[in-house]
Structure 1
Amino acid sequence: MSPRRSYDQYCSAARALDLVGDRWTLLIVRELLAGPRRYTDLHADLPGVSTDVLASRLKDMERDGLAGRRRLPPPSAAYVYELTGRGRALLPVLQALGEWGQPELGERRPTDAVRAHWFALPLLRALEGTAEGEGVVEVHLDEGKFHLHVGAGEGPVYGDGPAPGPADACLGTDSGTLGAVGHGALTLADAVRAGRIAVTGDGTLAKALREA
């Protein structure tokens, strides 16, 4: 393993970039916020990354204490990567970066890949600012489904696909609406009132969203 490169500056921002400033590292963190992931799953949800670069970044993240690797018990026996507490603490960093970058999205380009769960972190920020409490929210888009763990202090922040059990609220919407909510052009409450987000469910979160 090659030694970690450093800016050699006595500055906390520079030290942080020593760890996460390389291309792809923060996007790997984004994927691992969904919980343990196999290498093949990471590669599938990071279109454009080479296998060599992905493997190198994961090794760097293990070395720097941001992620770990473990073997699942039989019958799977596959290896998965997961964030450490230090790695999970990057959630607000990614949310702030996503909020800052939302105005750059504009119209989706023909070359742009998209995954439904890439909307999870901006939506989580909006949900936590609108509805108090904890719970699981399932989201249905044309691009697919994902679910969020609102108010979770540890463990996965979101997951691809339907919620593993009954959801406290289900949201039906489109990527354009979630994009508008993400960069502040539309509030979550206004999107619900306008019918751009359909809310179903009897949980506390569902009621809070309908009454916001």
Structure 2
Amino acid sequence: MSLEKITFKKNDSSRRRYEDACGTAHAMDLVGERWALLVMRELMLGPKRFSDLRADLPGISANVLTQRLEGLEASGILVRRQLPPPAAIQVYELTEWGYQSRPIMGALGRWATRSPGHDPTRHFSAVSLMLSFQAMGQPALLAGIAARIGFELGRETFVATIREGAISPARDSLEATDLLFRGEPRAIAAAVYGGVPLAALEAEGALVIAGDRALAERFVQCFPLPPKAPAPPAG
């Protein structure tokens, strides 16, 4: 029995592809372009406008963002749609298949934090911070916490629900939360991943905390970074 060569229509003939049957290789065909995974990351907690994506991805040009959005749309990973009135604006949203990459992205991020070159003091977008909690939360440390924790991060609000040792972040209103953090993502990351005391961030005016203070102190201890992988030999 002979195997017939199956030809698929390419979405962009200018892109170089691996021409490899391995699923991992094809994944790189789909999302291996620079910025592609970060565009997907920013859509993991819901749709966004083009202008919001640019604001949350410092360093990306309008031209490159347009190219990545078009490529991901052509691959079936995201769609464009118009919000109904009174908003009546165009947004980008992951498809059901696109959303299925969420645990993969979390695992990839968790793996990469072991790199000696990883620096948790660099830029965090609001979405990347919230997703990091799900990726890095330790079930043993989250166990025993049952709470809704609100985050007011610039123009966006989120609620992280903790139940049975797991944390699930989502865009939500801040009603009926047990605790609220208000500040820039980088300030909250400094407490969670940098060990900066909450009181110090409050004294600087970088962070406002409302609600259960003991829960706040416990929360920031639930996301320890893993030990670093061995550094490559010098020279």
Q: Deviations over 1:96-116 (max 9, x none)?
A: 1211222433363xxx44434
* Aligned residue number for residue 188 of structure 2: 174
Specify whether residues 123 and 56 from structure 1 end up closer, same or farther in structure 2 by C-alpha distance, changes over 3 A only: same
Structure 1 residue 43 and structure 2 residue 54: aligned?
yes
Structure 1 residue 106 and structure 2 residue 119: aligned?
yes
1:77 positional shift: 1.2
- The letter for the 2-side match of 1:139 is F
Give the conservation status (yes or no) of the 8 Å contact 2:42–2:53.
yes
Give the alignment's TM-score, normalised by structure 2. Answer: 0.62
Give the alignment's TM-score, normalised by structure 1. Answer: 0.68
1:44 positional shift: 0.8
Q: Which runs of 5+ in 1 are unaligned?
A: 182-194, 201-208
Picking from 125, 134, 140, the partner of 1:124 is: 134
State how many pairs are aligned.
Answer: 178
Q: Deviations over 1:131-163 (max 9, x none)?
A: 59998531367x887524548xxxx9533xxx4
* Aligned residue number for residue 75 of structure 1: 86
Specify whether residues 2 and 125 from structure 1 end up closer, same or farther in structure 2 by C-alpha distance, changes over 3 A only: closer
The within-5 A match list for 1:1-212 is 2-3=12-13, 5-103=16-114, 104-106=117-119, 108=121, 112-127=122-137, 129=139, 130-131=142-143, 136-139=148-151, 146-148=157-159, 150=161, 158-159=170-171, 163-170=172-179, 172=181, 174-179=188-193, 197-198=216-217
- The letter for the 1-side match of 2:216 is I
- The letter for the 1-side match of 2:36 is T
Pick the structure with more helix per residue. 1
SS of the counterpart of 2:80?
strand
Q: Which runs of 5+ in 2 are unaligned?
A: 1-10, 163-167, 182-186, 196-213, 223-235
Deviating above 6 A after TM superposition, structure 1's stretches of 4 or more consecutive aligned residues are: 132-135
